[in-house]
Chains A and B, each alone.
Chain A
Amino acid sequence: MNNLYLTIINQLDNGIILLDEQLNIQLWNNWLEKFTGQDERDVKGLKVTQVIPRLNKSLYISMFEKALLNKQKNFCSAAMHEYFVDCEHENTKKLRQNMLVRHIELDNQVYVMLEIHDVTNHYERIRKLNKSLQNSIGFTKSLERFAFYDSLTNLPNRKFIVDRIESLTKQEDARFTLFFLDLNGFKSVNDSFGHTQGDQLLQMVAERCQQLTDEQSVFARLGGDEFVLLVENLSSAEQHDKQIEKIHELLLEPFIIEDQSISITTSIGYACFPQDGVTVKQLLNIADRQMYLHKQKMNNE
């Protein structure tokens, strides 16, 4: 073979193997010598399946035969075949190689040329990139959670509920009710048991009231001991009363904190969209005022 061409083949950064019609190795370039530690003079004339045991499968032999006879070219991906030639050095990484199988014809002789591309480092990079991508997605998700959820109770927070209300007010034919809840006597729980127990009580209230959340309802914490419940498509006064009754029932059973039984009630006011207000501010103000009137009434009783 022309020396210049041989020199070029030996400079290539991938493995080149030339097989004759009997699938014996006729060329084994420098890259392969370095990668496998096997010199060309040791492998020349040997069956390729002897030198590269991973190619000793009917599917590869049939590929080589089809390349010889029908000029059929084949591409074998690292993703589906992993690798073909073993590395001489101890390698902690999983080897990954692509292989191209081609027909070559020269001076009435036909050959099969195998081109081996080592993509191990490339795959390693992709793996690491994916890992860091997953981490950054996780970080972004935790940031999102931080932005839209209350860290104490895991309930949606003020920002979440405000966004939801704003998007609903822009929808045609939207109807919803905003219930404003304020726990009665929460301050005295904090004063007599301590803030840690107060926080625990808020978490327990949140957990019970999670039952109020479904496809058409969201239960959120505004801050302190104030919560809101947004329910879509309530129309009659009867439906509103039922919803309020349901909230009271949920809080009926006392909460047990550090062997202490704590009973808590809530004052509730509500505002309906669109009849009571058309902006978040208007609706929250009205529901808040209704809740305050309810609290006063309870205190007077």
Chain B
Amino acid sequence: MLTTTQEDVLKEMYNVFVGEAASLLSEILQKRIYLSVPEVELIVINDLNDEDRENLIPILNGTILSTSLKFGNVFSGRAEFIFPTEQIKYVTALCLGEEYIMETEESSFSDEDFDVVKEIGNIILNAIMGGMGSLLEMKLDYDVPQVVLHEQGEFSKTFFNTQESNILLLYVNFSVDESEVIGLILIKFSLESIEFLIQKVDEISRDVDE
């Protein structure tokens, strides 16, 4: 678990990282795009029973589209940027400046929708990875993210069933012009990596206190 100070430092850091991503997205799309991280939480999966895991993040129980990448070597883990599928069409319409038509039937996605999500996810995860790399003074190794559509509840089963028990959960407010959509970033760390990250966070808060 994180202390309030650690949470505040992490929140501020990730807000700076996604702020860079927002600038780049604004430049590409020629629109005012804001990204912010209003909440950061560290979850230790091993401390939770099956029922708690299921109810931990309700969004994950629906159908979701995730953009994910593995980062590796010394500092390792997996990062996922997630949108609930009902918001995908809305996000792509917002980004491409198209009219959004609410569909009553289940939406189907085209490659165009996947590509938009892949690029947004890539930009946001790049900013986060780049930021964490600078903070930890190391180059993180990772590839272009993959976009995967997960049927209801499928994601939680695989994501939480793992050796790596520490998950950093970030809520991301994604706003284009006047509209807002909520996404999630989940970063799964190995134990050494999360300890190393928290150590860095503590160093920062000590520097601030002095």
Contacts and interface: CB of A to CB of B under 8 A. Distances in A.
The answer to whether A and B come from one shared complex is yes
Interface of A: 58-59, 66, 70-81, 98, 100, 102, 119, 122-123, 126, 130
B122 A75 contact: yes
B27 A75 contact: no
Given A70-B133, A80-B95, A75 B144 contact: yes
Interface stretch (B79-87, B112-120, B169-177, B199-207): B112-120
* Most chain A CB within a 10 A radius of its CB, from B95, B115, B116, B118: B115
A80 B116 contact: yes
A74 B21 CA distance: 12
Contact of A98 (B24, B27, B115, B145): B115
Nearest to B127: A72
Given A58-B27, A122-B111, 13 more contacts: A70-B133, A71-B139, A72-B126, A73-B142, A77-B115, A79-B92, A79-B115, A79-B119, A80-B95, A80-B115, A100-B144, A126-B110, A130-B110
Contacts, number: 62
Given A59-B24, A59-B28, A122-B111, A77 B130 contact: no
A70 B111 contact: no
Interface of B: 24, 27-29, 92, 95-96, 110-112, 115-116, 118-119, 122-123, 126, 129-130, 133, 139, 141-145
Contact of A126 (B24, B29, B111, B126): B111
A76 B92 CA distance: 14
A76 B126 CA distance: 13
29 contacts: A58-B27, A59-B28, A66-B130, A70-B130, A70-B133, A70-B139, A71-B139, A71-B141, A72-B130, A73-B126, A73-B144, A74-B123, A74-B144, A75-B115, A75-B118, A75-B119, A75-B144, A76-B119, A77-B112, A77-B115, A77-B116, A77-B118, A79-B95, A79-B116, A80-B95, A98-B115, A100-B144, A123-B112, A126-B110
Contacts of B112: 77-79, 123, 126
Interface pairs A-B: 4 shortest CB-CB: A77-B115, A77-B119, A73-B144, A79-B112
* Most chain A CB within a 10 A radius of its CB, from B96, B112, B130: B112
Contacts of B141: 71
B154 to A, nearest CB: 24
Contacts of A59: 24, 27-28
A126 B115 CA distance: 14
B172 to A, nearest CB: 18
Contacts of B123: 74
A122 B139 CA distance: 37
Contacts of A119: 111
Contacts of A71: 139, 141
Contacts of A72: 126, 129-130
B96 A74 contact: no
Nearest to A69: B139
Contact of B143 (A73, A80, A98): A73
A74 B115 contact: no
B115 to A, nearest CB: 4
A79 B113 CA distance: 8
A93 to B, nearest CB: 15
A266 B133 CA distance: 82
A73 B143 CA distance: 6
A235 B190 CA distance: 68
Nearest to B147: A75
Nearest to B67: A75
Nearest to B117: A77
Contacts of B95: 79-80
Nearest to B27: A59
* Most chain A CB within a 10 A radius of its CB, from B29, B116, B126, B139: B126
Nearest to A133: B108
B111 A80 contact: no
A119 B130 CA distance: 30
A74 B122 contact: yes
A76 to B, nearest CB: 6
A80 B96 contact: yes
Nearest to B115: A77
A110 B44 CA distance: 40
Nearest to B110: A126
Contacts of B119: 75-77, 79-80
B96 A79 contact: yes
A119 B176 CA distance: 26
Contact of B115 (A58, A78, A102, A130): A78
A29 to B, nearest CB: 20
Contacts of B24: 59
